[in-house]
Amino acid sequence: MFLFAPIIGIFGAFALVAVFGFTVILPLFTVMLAISGNYLWAALTAATWLAWLRFGGPVRRFVFEGFEHGSL
């Protein structure tokens, strides 16, 4: 357990940061790009965010499942 817990913890932290970034940070970054006039990058970032919302369900479910196991 002492050998695998740090590896699993690092992976879990990385997964949580990635899910938070794709879910919350990407739309804010899209707005920043649109305001600054980088419309192509804003459109690509918005398309990435929409694809994440559509196809990222299993990853989000995997990350948030950890909260249930952590509360046991």
Question: Could you tell me the residue range of the domain that residue 47 belongs to?
Answer: 5-63
On whether residue 42 sits in a domain, the answer given is: yes
**CA–CA dist 55, 64 (Å, integer):** 16
> For the chain, which ranges sit under pLDDT 50?
none
pLDDT at res. 65: 81
Name the domain count of the chain: 1
pTM of the prediction? 0.73
**CA–CA dist 60, 19 (Å, integer):** 7
On whether residue 58 sits in a domain, the answer given is: yes
Q: Which run of H or of E encompasses 18?
A: helix 5-20
